[in-house]
Structure 1
Amino acid sequence: MRINETSYGLYSYQKQQNRVNHIQTNSSKKTSSSANVEISSQGREISQAMMSDQAQRQQRVQELKQQIAAGTYQIDSGKVADKMIDFWKGTSR
């Protein structure tokens, strides 16, 4: 068996390693710069309203879980039927 080029695999590995090192160097330069983000007062109000809604929703979910566990949760079959009909008619809200 005759092997002509013994350094072929080494050079391709070295080129790949150089690419990886170059990418890592460039990405570290980009992350070293700082960025400032400012949120408007309206954005803060929206965020607070969303968190408030989330807290209310979480409280309602806990209430429902307790009712289901206690066996006191009542289902209004008329509302369920109305929602199903609205869904199938394509007028669901």
Structure 2
Amino acid sequence: MKINETNRVGAINSYQRNVEAGRTEEKKSRRKDEVSISSEALEMLQRSSDPERAQKIQALKQQVASGNYQVDAGKLADKLLPFFKS
């Protein structure tokens, strides 16, 4: 009965080499995170700093909080209709 087969030792060593190779590839593949802002997002950011728009939003928030905000179902349907047609 053979206890130490030479084939098994080689298999363990090749497994160890694969693990070590994976670690070095992992270190190489790490990149720094980058953020890019599209022109559309920059445009939206500029619109949000408009004082008239901020005032309108504040008035809508107050109406919703007090329960006085009424939704015009006709306008809502007109805006949603193109999405359902396509």
TM-score (norm 2): 0.45
The two structures have a TM-score, normalised by structure 1, of 0.43
